Amino acid sequence: MLPRDKTSNGHTAESAALSGAAVAPIVRYDRGARVEALDLVAAEESVLIEVEVGSGPPVEMGVTMRTPGADRELAVGMLVAEGIIEQPSDVVDVETGSRSCGSRAASAIVVRLRPGLSLTQQDVGARVLRSAACGVCGARSVDVAADHLAAIEERGLTVPADTLCAMPDVLRQTQLLFGHTGGLHAAALFRPDGRLVRVCEDIGRHNAVDKLIGAALMNGDELRDSVLFLSGRAGFELIYKAAVVHIPVVASIGAPSSLAVDLASRQRITLAGFVRQTGLNVYSMSDRIVGGRDT
């Protein structure tokens, strides 16, 4: 769905106060008319994430392109989802600010871990997955990446197919920044009965999931009996993140990749794709999706 028309300068300027959006002057052609206006676009900025342990030198997690906002949740979620830490209590402090980068300042997030933990730059290179969205080849193979993951525990959770099919509309109604910019991914946490717990948006789909995981863990949300719903496609790295925090059901509006299906099957995660009001496809662990009639 396209973002709603924003030719009103007043409306756009008011909406610019939204975190994660920026104002851009545009020329719009509409039904043969040429109109100068202001539009909202999704904000995209780079941020360096560093981890400090004790008195040792900072360890760089790397630079990611993200939508500003929820930086603490992004950092904590990334560290948990990549297996660097086990829970938010491993984090002593998260500092956000800027670093000098030549003649300009760059955003930075510094995460300080509790004493007793250890982390080196070599650890990060060996353990951190690189998203396909970044166009960077991973430092490890898929098999090695998933070797340490435990399969999802069977807890008798089921989700009605009709409930999953209603989630895209629920998600769309809560995507405030997408409604103004049309340029953001979303990740949402739902209960099996369809109740929405929280939504995070970002210009990067993997960042949106990291923000959601970080916010959920920091707020004590239950993840083992929940549904992760994605506004776009379901790639390997997103299923991997769900597996790390034991989310049993992942559903997406878009398509899954072959590696995502393989990993979901291996970890006993229910993976659904092409979720619409009218139906969906289930690629693994279909017994958790109930309802419908056989034909």
CATH number of the structural domain spanning residue 205 = 3.40.140.10
* pLDDT for the residue 243: 95
The most confident of 53-67, 110-124, 133-147, by mean pLDDT: 53-67
Q: Are residues 232 and 112 in the same domain?
A: no
This prediction's pTM: 0.82
- Whether the per-residue pLDDT at 12 is higher than 60: the answer is no
Q: Is 18 exposed, middle or buried (0-12, 13-18, 19+ CB in 10 A)?
A: middle
Question: Given 146, 167, 200, which residue is the final one in a domain?
Answer: 146
Residues 130 and 204 in one domain: no
- What local confidence, expressed as pLDDT, does residue 15 receive? 46
Mean pLDDT of the chain: 82
Residue 127, burial from CB neighbour count under 10 angstroms (0-12, 13-18, 19+):
middle
How many CA within 13 A on the CB side of residue 122?
1
Question: For the range 206-210, what are the long-range contacts, defined as Cβ-Cβ under 8 Å and sequence gap of 24 or more?
Answer: 206/131, 206/133, 206/237, 206/238, 206/241, 207/64, 207/65, 207/66, 207/67, 207/74, 208/184, 209/77, 209/81, 209/238, 209/241, 209/242, 210/73, 210/74, 210/77, 210/78, 210/81, 210/241
- The domain tally of the chain equals 3
- The top-scoring range by mean pLDDT among 171-180, 241-250, 253-262 is 241-250
The verdict on 90 and 49 lying in the same domain is: yes
Distance CA 186, CA 175 (A): 7
Q: What's the mean pLDDT in 21-47?
A: 81
Report the Cα–Cα distance between both ends of the chain, in Å, rounded: 32
Whether 151 is in a domain gets the answer: no
Q: Which residue has the higher pLDDT, 10 or 207?
A: 207
Residues 15 and 53 in one domain: no
52 and 15 share a domain? no
What's the pLDDT at 34? Answer: 75
162-166, 181-185, 188-192, 266-270: segment of lowest average pLDDT: 181-185
Find the DSSP H helices in the chain: 9-15, 71-81, 121-127, 142-146, 161-174, 176-181, 205-218, 236-244, 258-267
Q: Both 131 and 29 in a single domain?
A: no
Say if residue 187 is in the same domain as residue 139.
no
Q: Which of 55-69, 136-150, 218-232 bottoms out in mean pLDDT, i.e. has the lowest?
A: 136-150
**Tokens, residue 78:** 């990334």
Tokens, residue 228:
């992760």
**For the residues 92-113, what does the mean pLDDT come to?**
81
Q: Is residue 38 part of a domain?
A: yes
Any domain includes 178: yes
Q: For residues 211 and 187, what is the distance between their CA atoms, to the nearest angstrom?
A: 9
Positions annotated as catalytic residues are: 134
Answer for the pair 185, 233: CB distance below 8 angstroms, yes or no: no
Q: Which of 95, 121, 146 is the last residue of a domain?
A: 146
153 is a domain residue: no
Tell me, yes or no, whether 131 and 244 share the same domain: no
Question: Domain for residue 165, yes or no?
Answer: yes
Whether residue 110 sits in one domain with residue 126 = yes
| Single residue among 122, 146, 170 that ends a domain in this structure | 146
Question: Is there a domain that residue 3 lies in?
Answer: no
Task: Give the range of the structural domain holding residue 49, as residue numbers without chain letter.
Answer: 45-146
Q: Tell me what the mean pLDDT of segment 19-40 comes to.
A: 78
Q: How far apart are CA 121 and CA 67, in angstroms?
A: 26
**pLDDT digit string, tens, across residues 35-45:** 888 888 888 88
User: Does the pLDDT at position 86 exceed 60?
Assistant: yes
According to DSSP, residue 288 is labeled G
In a domain, 277, yes or no: yes
Q: Quick one: pLDDT at residue 104?
A: 63
18: in domain: yes
* Side chain identity, residue 282: V
pLDDT at 120: 63
User: Count of residues for the chain?
Assistant: 295
User: What is residue 204's DSSP assignment?
Assistant: S
- Residue in the block written with tokens 């990060």: 124
Q: What is the pLDDT of residues 269-285, one digit of tens each?
A: 999 999 999 899 999 99
Q: What is the pLDDT of residue 133?
A: 44
Same domain, yes or no: 175 and 280:
yes
pLDDT at res. 24: 80
Q: Are residues 73 and 124 in the same domain?
A: yes
Looking at mean pLDDT, say which of 1-5, 123-127, 155-159, 182-186 comes out highest: 155-159
Q: Residue 137 phi/psi, 5° resolution?
A: -70, 140
Domain co-membership, 187 together with 135: no
- What one-character DSSP code corresponds to residue 137? -
